[in-house]
Structure 1
Amino acid sequence: MSNLGITCYMFLVGLEMDITTPKMGKTSLSVAIVGTILPAFGGMGLYYLALDPVKTKRPATGGFFWAVALTVTSFPNLARILSEFKLLYTDLGKTALTSAVVTDIASWVVLVILLSTVNGREEFYTLIATVLFIAISWFVSRPILCKIIKKIGAKNRSSVEGRYSEMHVFCILSAVLLHGIVTEACGIHSMFGAFMFGLMIPAGELGTKIMDKTEEYVVGILMPPFFLLTGLRTNIVSLATGVSLWVVILVIVVAFFVKIVATFLVCLFLKCPPRDSLSLGVLMNTKGVLAIIVLNEGRNLKALDQQTFSWMIVAILLMTSMVAPLLYLTHKPSRSLKLLYHRNLERIKVDQELRVLACVHSSRNISGLINLLRMSNATRRSSITVYAVHLVELTGRASAMLIFHDKNKTNDVSGQDQSREKAEAEQIVSAFDSLQKNNAEATIQVQLLTAVSPYATMHRDVINFAVDKLVTAILIPFHKKPDAFGRWTDENLQHKQVTDHLLENAPCSIGILVDRGLTAPLYQESSQPDRIHKCHIIMLFLEGPDSREALACAWRMACAPGVFLSVLRFVPEKDAMDMNNGDEDLGDDHDDSEIFSAMFEKEKQLLLDDDYINEFRFRTMNDESITYVEKKVRSGDQIISIIRSSYNDFNLYIVGRGHGMQSPLTEGLSDWNDCPELGLLGETLGSAEFLSAASVLVMQQSAPTHNVSKKNINSGTNKGAFENSTGKSAGPLVNHRKIDDLY
C-alpha cells in the first residue's frame, strides 16, 4: 500500500511539472547549480564528520542519501507557496520555479545512480537499463503518446462529457502501473517509471481531468500509510543515543541553513538585492514528500540506520514548517497599499501615458473590451499601454501559472495544440495583437499574459500587477451573460467573487463593462461620411468621486473621432435636498462630530463636483460633438422616467458606481439592488427590462476623498482627457477636429 501510494504520488508530481516551459536565465542556472552542489557536499560532510562511519561501523553510502535529501526542492510545494504569497508575477517567483525544476531533475538523476549502485544487483545492468528506459520513454514513447492524445481530443471535441472519458483516465492509470513494473525490472523503484510517465503526458484537459479524479484519492487514501511508516521509523528518543546532544543540534541547524546560505551567497555574487536573495534561499529550502521518499529508500537499503534516518527526518520537517514564516518575514505583504497608492483618470496629466489593465475571463469578453479601448483616444502625447490579462483558474500544472505571451511567435503553453484552453488563449492573444497592429500611429501598445491562480486569491495577482505597472484603471467584464434579447441567462459566481474583491481592494480606478455588442466608431479620411459608424455615448452624472471618474472617462472618449458625448447631470430639487438634510439631523445614535463630519464631507464633494463640471463645460463649450444638460429631479424614480422617455437611444451609458453615496437621487432605485457591484443606477441601466441593446460602463474611483482637492482640479493635473485626436491640447475655445456633420 505504501509503495503504491508513492508510485501514484510521483506520477502526479510528474504530471504537474512541465520541464519544457521554464526559460533558463543566468540567475536561475547559477542558483540551481550552486543550490545542488553545496548542499550535496554539506550533507555528505555532516554525515562523515558528525558520525565517523569508520568508527561507528555505519554504511558510508548513508551520506549520499543525506546529500540528495538536502539537495532536493519540492516543486509542487514551492509553486503553491509562491501562489499563496503572490510572488508568481515577480522575478523572484520565476527564478525560484525555474531553479526548482533543474534542481529536482538533477536530484532524480543522482538518486537513480545512487540506487543502481547500492541495491545489491548488477550495477552496470541497472544503470544501462535505466538510461535506455528514459531515452526510449522521452524520445520515442512521448511523441507517440502526444499524437494519440491530440487525435482523441480532436475527435471528441464536440462531446458533451468532454474530450476524454473515464476510460481514457483508466488507460492512463494502467500505463502508470506498467511503467512502474518496467522500472522495477530495470532494478530501481517503480516511482521512477511513474514520475517519467507523468512528465510525458502533455498539459491540457486530460492532465487536469486526471488530477481532479485521482489527487484526493492518492493524497487522502494511498499516502497516509507511507507517512505512518515514516513516523514509525522515526525514533525521537534515539536522536542523542551515543552522541552529544550538541552534535545533534549542530547537524540539524547546519542541514537547515546550508541551502539557504548557498543560495543567498550566489545571489549576492550576482548582485541581487539582499532581501530577494534571502527570500530565494528560503524558497529553495522547501522540502516535501520527495525528500522523505529519499530517506525512506536509504532506510530500506540499510544505508541509513534508525538514528541517522531520524536526524534527517527531523531536519526536513523543521525546514518544511519554517518556510512560510520565514518568507512572511522577508516578504511581508504591505497592509497600507490602499492608503499609499491611488491613480485615477480624473487626475491624469495631459501628456501622461495611460496604463490600463484589461481582465479577460473568456473569449466572450474580448470584443467589448477592445472596442472600449479603441474609443479611449490614444494619441502621441497621451498613448495607451494595455496589459491584457487572461484570468484562468489554477487547476493542473503549477509551472503554467504565469505565462507571458510573445506576440512574435506561437506560445505553446499546453503541449496540446487543439485543446480548448489553448484555442481560447490564442484567440485572446490574436485579438489584442490586432488591436496594436491596426493602430496606425502606434499609440496603443499591448502586453499579453495569462494569470493562473485560484479564484479566491486571483484579485491579489491583479492588484499586485497593477501596482507594479503603475496602472491607472482596471477594466473588468460583467460576470453575467446576456442572451439574444439582452436578458441575463446565467451568472458566474466565481467571476463575481473576483470583481467584488477588486472593488474592495483595488488601488486604482475600476471599470465594469456590461457589454451588449459595443462597437467602436470607424474612421478613415477617405471614407464617405454617410458610411462611417458613429458611437453615441451618454454620461449620467449624479454626485461624488465615482461620477467624476465616469465623466473623466467619457471626456477622454469624446475626444476621439466619431464619438459623440452627451452629459446629463441630475440635480436634486431644493425640497428634496432639504428633506435629505433633515433626515441626517435625526441621527440620535451618532455623535455630533460624526454628523458634522458627514455633512462637511458631503458639502465638500458637492463643491468638487461643481468645480469639475464647470471645468468640463468651459473647455468643451465650442465642441459641437459634446452636449451638456442638467435636470432637476426629486428621486431615482424620476431619473429612470427621464432616461426612458428622452435618453434611451445611445450605444454606451457611462455612470459612476456611487459606492457609499447617500442622496435623494438614489431613492427608489434600491428595488434594483441585486448587483451591488454595478451600483444602483448602473444595475438599473444594465437590466434587460430597461435597456436591451445598450452597453453600460460603471466606474469606481478608488482614491480617498481627501486626496482630491480643488487645487488638483484647477492646476491642470486632470487634463489628460482633454486632448483631441490630432494631439493638440483641448484648451478653452478650441473646437475639436471632428468629422463634420456626422450626426
Structure 2
Amino acid sequence: MSHKPKFYTKGKYNIHFGMSNEFTICYNASKPISSSYWQSVDPLMTTLPVFLLQLSVFIAISRVLMVLLRPLRQPRFLSELLAGVLLGPGALGMTGWIANNLTPFEGSLFLETMANVGVTFYMFLVGLEMDLSPVRKMGTTTMSIAIVGIILPLAAGVGLHSIVVQLRPTDRAPEMGAYFWSIALSLTSFPDLARILSDLKLMHTDLGKTALTAAVVNDLSCSFLLVVAVSLINGKKELYVAIPVLVCMTVFWFSLRPFIRKIVRHISGAGKETAASDKHIHFILSLVFLSGFITELCGAHSFYGAFMLGLIIPEGELVTNIKDKVEEFVVGILLPPIFLITGTRTNTEYFFADYDVRMVMLVILLAISAKIIGALIVCLYFKCPMRDGLALGVLMNTKGVLAVIVLNEGRNMKGFDQQTYSWIVIAILLMTVIIGPVVSFTHKSARHLRSYNDRHLERSKLDTPLRVLACVHSTRNLSGLISLLQISNSTRKSPITVFAVHLVELAGRTSAMLIFHDKNRTIDTGNNCSREKAEAEQIVSAFESFENDNHGAIVKPLTVVSPYASMHEDVNNFALDKFANIILIPFHKRPDTSGGWTDENLQHELVNQNLLQTSPCSIGLLVDRGLTCFPNSQKGTWECRVSMLFVQGPDDREALAYAWRMAGNPNLMLTLVRFVPGKEVSDELVENDDIDNPEVFSDKLERERQKQLDDDYINEFRFRTMHNQSISFIEKQVNSGDQIVSAISSAYNDFDLYVVGRGHGITSPLTAGLSSWSEFPELGALGETLVSMDLESSASVLIVQQSYPSSSGSKKSRTSDASKDILGG
C-alpha cells in the first residue's frame, strides 16, 4: 500500500494533505494597495484570464477527444469528462506549468462560481427537454425497471459506503457519504441517454422508449432524494428543513405555470416570431436566476429551482426558441467548468492508497453492475430476451452531467473524500465507455437478425398480418402511398399495421429525435417553422382517416427528425424493432403538368439510395402518377387495374408476393405477365457456358437455381389462383429489352399500377440493354423503363426489392439461403 505524505510542496504551493476530506494550501497572494479605497491590481484580472485560458484549453482538448472517439460511437460527455480528468492532478495537472498557470488553487473559487451558473442553466434545459407524458402510460415492465433501477443501486450505494467505512480509519468516515453514493449510483441522466440513443439510432425502438421513460422516473426520484439529502445535511438532520423547498415548488407549479401557459398561447396565436417573443424569452431566462436564488434561500441548490422551472414550461414555440438561442452556449461554454472542477478533484496518483487493489476494483465493479443486475432480474421475471435486459441495464447506467453534479455536491458537503470521489468518477467513465459496444453487440449486430429473412412476403402466408413502414417527406407524398395501402387488401382476417413515418430534416437540435403522435396531442417537430407543424398534422390526420375507412388497418403515426445523411439508419432500426415486412418510400421526383418530372428534393434521393442499400427488410419505391383507387361509397364498388411484370430473381418474386396480396381485394384486377427467354437468348446462353471455367460453371448453377425458384413460385401462384376470375396470367417470350418495351407498349399499356422487381444484384440477358443508359439506378432497369415510357394511361410504378441482412453475404449466398427456405432445405 502507498501512503500520501502529510506535507509536501508543489510549485508555489505548500500543501498539508492527508487522506481526509480536508487539506490546507498555503501560497503568497500579495496585492499592493495604492490607496485606502482602491487596489492597484483588479481582483478580476487575477482570475478572469486564468478562467479564459482554462476554458480555451479544455474546449480544445475535448474537441480533439471527440474526433478521436467519434468512430467508437462514444458520446460527447465522455470526451468532456476525460478532458477534465486529463487536466487534473492525476495526469497533466501534475506538471508544474499546468498546476501553476492552468489549474491554480486560487482560481478555484471563480471556476466553481461559473460551474454553478452553468449547472443551473443546464438543469433548466433538462427540465425543458423532459417529457412527463410517457410516465402516465408507463407499462408494467418499464415501471419495474425504473423501480428496481432505483432501489437496487440505492442499496448498493449504502452497502459500498459501509464497506469503505469499515476498511478505512474512523476519522475519515462521513455519515452523509451514504446519501451521495446511493444517489450517484441510482441516477440515470435523461438528456445524455437521449443523445446516446439518438447516436445509436435506437431512440425510436421499444428498447429506447423503455429506457427513456424509466430514466424520467429515475431523474425525478433522484432529484427529490438529492434535495432531501442536501436539506437534511444543511439542517442538521432535521426533516422539516425540506418543507420550504416543497412549498416553493408547489407555488411554482400552481401559480407560475398558468402564467407561462398564457405566454405560450400568446406566442402560438401570433403565427410567427415577433419582437415580443424575444422579450418573453428574456423574461423566462431571468426567471432561471430568480428560481435558483429562491431555492438557495430554501436550503437547496440553485439548479433544482431552474430544473423545476424548465419542467413546468409546456411544449411549444417558446421552448423551441429558448433551446435554439441558449442550448449550444450553455452546453459548449457554461458547462465545461463543471468538468474542470471534476478533473481537479480526481486524483488517480493515489488511487489505491491505504486500500487493497482488489477491494477497490470490487467497489468499482459493483458500482457499475448494480443497474445491470436489476434490469436483468426484471427481464428474467417478465421473460424478456436477455439481450434486452443487458442493453437496458447498460443504458440505465448512463450517468452523464447529472451524475457529475451529484458527485460535486457530495464532495462540497464532504460526502466523498478525494479518493472515493476518484473511484466513482472512474466508474462513471467505465459505465459510459461500455454503453456503445454492449448495445451495438446486442441490438446492432447481425446475430439476432438471422430470423428476419422469414418475414419476407415471399415466405409469408397470404392471410398473415402485414406490417408496413410507410415513409413520407411531405403532404405531396400522401395521396399515392395511401392509395397503395387502400388496395393492399386490409381485412379483419388479414390486417395491415401501418407505421406512418414523417421524415423531417434535423434543424435546431443537437441530436436526432423521434416523436410518437397521439390523436389529441400537439405535434412538435423540433423546428421553428409553423408550416412544418401544420404539415405534420395533415399527415397524421390523413393516415388516421385511412384507418377509419379501413377496419382491417391499424395506423401508428410518428415523426423522425434526423439529418438526411443518417435518416435511413433511423428508418431501418424502426423497421427492425417493429418487425416490418416492407418499407414503402416515395420517388424523389414528382410529375408536372407538362408530363415531365420535377425534383422534390435531391436529399430525398440520397435517403432512398441509402435505404435500398441497407434496408433489413423488403422495400418498395413508389413512383406516383396519380394513383387514386378509392372505393365509391355510392356504387359500393371500384376497380383498379394492376399489372405485375415478372422477369427473374428474388426481387421479382417479392414483387409478385405483394401483388398477390393485392389480388385478394375483390375489386382489383391483376395481370401477371412473365417474360421468359426466347430461343435466341437460350442458344446464346448455351454457347457461352464453359463448364471448364469454375466461375462460369458456378454462374450457370446459380442461374438454374434462380430459374427453379421462379418456376416453383409462379406455379404455386397459378395453382392457388386458377379459379380467381380477376387474375390473369400471360407468358411472353422475348429475346431483348427492346422486345419487352415493344410488348408493354402494344399490349400491356393500360393499367393503373405496375408492380416490378428492382432486379438488384441480378444480371438478366432480357434487361441488359435497358440498364445501359440508366439515369435512376434505384428504379431498376424495368422500373426506369416504365417511368420513361409514354403509356396510354398515366400509370404509377411500384419497384420492389427483397433485402437481406448484411450478414448474409454476397448475392450468391443470399440466393442460396432463399433456396433453402423455399424448398424446405
Between 1:595-604 and 1:687-696, the stretch displaced more is 687-696
Partner SS, residue 766 of structure 2: helix
User: Which residue is 1:77 aligned to?
Assistant: 192
CA contact (8 A) 1:518 1:652 kept: yes
Are residues 47 and 691 of structure 1, via their aligned partners in 2, closer, same or farther at CA, if it must alter by over 3 Å? farther
Distance 1:555 1:308 in 2: 67
User: Which residue is 1:542 aligned to?
Assistant: 647
User: Which residue is 1:516 aligned to?
Assistant: 625
Of 520, 532, 556, the match for 1:448: 556
Distance 1:152 1:97 in 2: 29
Is 2:786 the counterpart of 1:685? yes
Between 1:32-41 and 1:455-464, the stretch displaced more is 455-464
CA contact (8 A) 1:79 1:399 kept: no
Is 2:599 the counterpart of 1:490? yes
Are residues 251 and 484 of structure 1, via their aligned partners in 2, closer, same or farther at CA, if it must alter by over 3 Å? same
User: Which residue is 2:267 aligned to?
Assistant: 152
Is 2:409 the counterpart of 1:309? no
Are residues 75 and 203 of structure 1, via their aligned partners in 2, closer, same or farther at CA, if it must alter by over 3 Å? same
Is 2:549 the counterpart of 1:438? yes
Is 2:137 the counterpart of 1:17? no
1:491 Cα offset (Å): 4.3
Is 2:665 the counterpart of 1:560? yes
Are residues 552 and 275 of structure 1, via their aligned partners in 2, closer, same or farther at CA, if it must alter by over 3 Å? closer
1:13 Cα offset (Å): 2.0
Of 659, 673, 681, the match for 2:774: 673
Distance 1:696 1:259 in 2: 51
Of 685, 694, 700, the match for 2:795: 694
Are residues 477 and 163 of structure 1, via their aligned partners in 2, closer, same or farther at CA, if it must alter by over 3 Å? farther
Of 240, 246, 249, the match for 1:134: 249
Are residues 470 and 393 of structure 1, via their aligned partners in 2, closer, same or farther at CA, if it must alter by over 3 Å? same
CA contact (8 A) 1:651 1:694 kept: yes
Are residues 4 and 622 of structure 1, via their aligned partners in 2, closer, same or farther at CA, if it must alter by over 3 Å? same
Of 143, 157, 168, the match for 1:43: 157
Distance 1:55 1:398 in 2: 47
- Where in structure 2 are the equivalents of 1:633-652 lying within 5 Å? 633=734, 635-637=736-738, 639-640=740-741, 643-644=744-745, 647-652=748-753
Q: How many residues align?
A: 697
1:108 Cα offset (Å): 1.0
1:105 Cα offset (Å): 0.8
Partner SS, residue 556 of structure 2: strand
Are residues 492 and 254 of structure 1, via their aligned partners in 2, closer, same or farther at CA, if it must alter by over 3 Å? same
Distance 1:688 1:5 in 2: 62
- Where in structure 2 are the equivalents of 1:97-496 lying within 5 Å? 97-119=212-234, 127-156=242-271, 172-204=284-316, 206-265=318-377, 268=380, 276-328=388-440, 333-335=445-447, 337=449, 341-378=453-490, 382-391=494-503, 401=514, 403=516, 405=518, 410-411=520-521, 423-439=534-550, 442=551, 444-450=552-558, 452=560, 454=562, 459=568, 462-463=571-572, 466=575, 471-485=580-594, 487-492=596-601, 495-496=604-605
- String of CA shifts for 1:21-44, please: whole Å, max 9, x gaps: 332333433443343344334334
- String of CA shifts for 1:182-222, please: whole Å, max 9, x gaps: 44454443322332232233335554454455444333333
**What residue identity is the alignment partner of 2:149?**
G
1:574 Cα offset (Å): 3.9
User: Which residue is 2:146 aligned to?
Assistant: 32
1:86 Cα offset (Å): 5.7
1:166 Cα offset (Å): 6.8
Is 2:171 the counterpart of 1:56? yes
Are residues 195 and 486 of structure 1, via their aligned partners in 2, closer, same or farther at CA, if it must alter by over 3 Å? farther
CA contact (8 A) 2:705 2:819 kept: no
CA contact (8 A) 2:491 2:553 kept: no
CA contact (8 A) 1:16 1:76 kept: yes
CA contact (8 A) 1:126 1:188 kept: no
**What residue identity is the alignment partner of 1:511?**
G
Is 2:113 the counterpart of 1:5? no
**What residue identity is the alignment partner of 1:26?**
T
CA contact (8 A) 2:502 2:536 kept: yes
Partner SS, residue 476 of structure 1: strand
TM-score, normalised relative to structure 1: 0.80
Partner SS, residue 666 of structure 1: coil
CA contact (8 A) 1:357 1:475 kept: yes
Partner SS, residue 554 of structure 1: helix
CA contact (8 A) 2:512 2:561 kept: no
1:294 Cα offset (Å): 1.4
CA contact (8 A) 1:75 1:100 kept: yes
- String of CA shifts for 1:410-449, please: whole Å, max 9, x gaps: 3456599x9666655554444333334334xx4x231414
Are residues 639 and 205 of structure 1, via their aligned partners in 2, closer, same or farther at CA, if it must alter by over 3 Å? farther
CA contact (8 A) 1:521 1:561 kept: no
Are residues 546 and 34 of structure 1, via their aligned partners in 2, closer, same or farther at CA, if it must alter by over 3 Å? closer
Distance 1:102 1:413 in 2: 23
Mind listing any 5+ residue stretches in structure 1 that lack a counterpart?
A: 716-743
CA contact (8 A) 2:525 2:561 kept: no
Between 1:572-581 and 1:471-480, the stretch displaced more is 572-581
User: Which residue is 1:723 aligned to?
Assistant: none
Distance 2:414 2:522 in 1: 45
Distance 1:246 1:571 in 2: 73
Distance 2:212 2:666 in 1: 47
Partner SS, residue 341 of structure 1: helix
- String of CA shifts for 1:298-344, please: whole Å, max 9, x gaps: 33344444333323322322333233344456657334725762344
CA contact (8 A) 1:580 1:663 kept: no
Partner SS, residue 21 of structure 1: helix
1:682 Cα offset (Å): 1.5
Between 1:282-291 and 1:80-89, the stretch displaced more is 80-89
- String of CA shifts for 1:331-373, please: whole Å, max 9, x gaps: 5733472576234444443544444343344443332222212
Between 1:683-692 and 1:251-260, the stretch displaced more is 683-692
Partner SS, residue 513 of structure 1: strand
Distance 1:494 1:569 in 2: 35
Distance 1:260 1:701 in 2: 38
- Where in structure 2 are the equivalents of 1:575-614 lying within 5 Å? 575=680, 578=683, 592-610=693-711, 612-613=713-714
Distance 1:399 1:600 in 2: 46
Between 1:16-25 and 1:338-347, the stretch displaced more is 338-347
CA contact (8 A) 2:751 2:793 kept: no
Between 1:533-542 and 1:104-113, the stretch displaced more is 533-542
Partner SS, residue 133 of structure 2: coil
CA contact (8 A) 1:176 1:193 kept: yes
Distance 1:666 1:288 in 2: 56
CA contact (8 A) 2:737 2:770 kept: yes
1:592 Cα offset (Å): 1.6
Are residues 637 and 224 of structure 1, via their aligned partners in 2, closer, same or farther at CA, if it must alter by over 3 Å? farther
